[in-house]
């Protein structure tokens, strides 16, 4: 069971935490919170966009006591020309031994 008070307790909480990690290019946290079944061996955040904001669009389950959760989100980032891009994904999460992990997601085309 999780004893770390900073560990996210919901799928949406983990999504927010992972967005913050992408903003600060914290590959260690991203890999730690990625489920081992889909986790890449490493992350290269060299060309990481300049992330601006996160909007949670929808959640399905993903609370304390749930084994799985879905979080749909839109994350905005700055484009090189000064415009704003949007990453829109419906992500799947799993909770094991009291810890939430990102599994994978489906991207929406815009």
| Secondary structure of the chain in HEC code, one letter for each residue | CCCCCCCCCCHHHHHHHHHHHHHCCCHHHHHHCECCCCCCCCCCCCCCCEEEEEEEEEEEECCCCCCEEEEEEEEEEECCCCCEEEEEEEEEEEEECCEEEEEEEEECCC
Q: Where are the domains of the chain?
A: 11-107
pLDDT at 1 > cutoff 80: no
Tell me what pLDDT residue 110 has: 72
Tell me what pLDDT residue 37 has: 98
Of 3.40.390.10, 1.20.1440.120, 3.10.250.10, 3.10.450.50, which CATH number belongs to 11-107?
A: 3.10.450.50
Higher pLDDT, 24 or 1: 24
Q: Mind listing the pLDDT tens digit for each residue in 57-66?
A: 999 999 989 9
Tell me what pLDDT residue 5 has: 61
């Amino acid at each position: 069971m999780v004893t770390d008070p900073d560990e996210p307790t919901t799928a949406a909480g983990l999504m927010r935490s992972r967005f913050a990690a992408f903003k600060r290019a914290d590959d260690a946290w991203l890999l730690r919170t990625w489920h081992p079944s889909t986790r890449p061996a490493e992350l290269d955040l060299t060309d990481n966009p300049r992330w601006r904001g996160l909007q949670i669009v929808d959640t399905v389950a993903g609370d304390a006591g749930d084994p799985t959760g879905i979080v749909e989100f839109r994350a905005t980032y700055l484009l090189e020309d000064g415009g704003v891009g949007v990453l829109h994904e419906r992500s799947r999460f799993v909770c094991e031994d009291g810890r939430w992990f990102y599994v994978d997601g489906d991207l929406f085309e815009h």
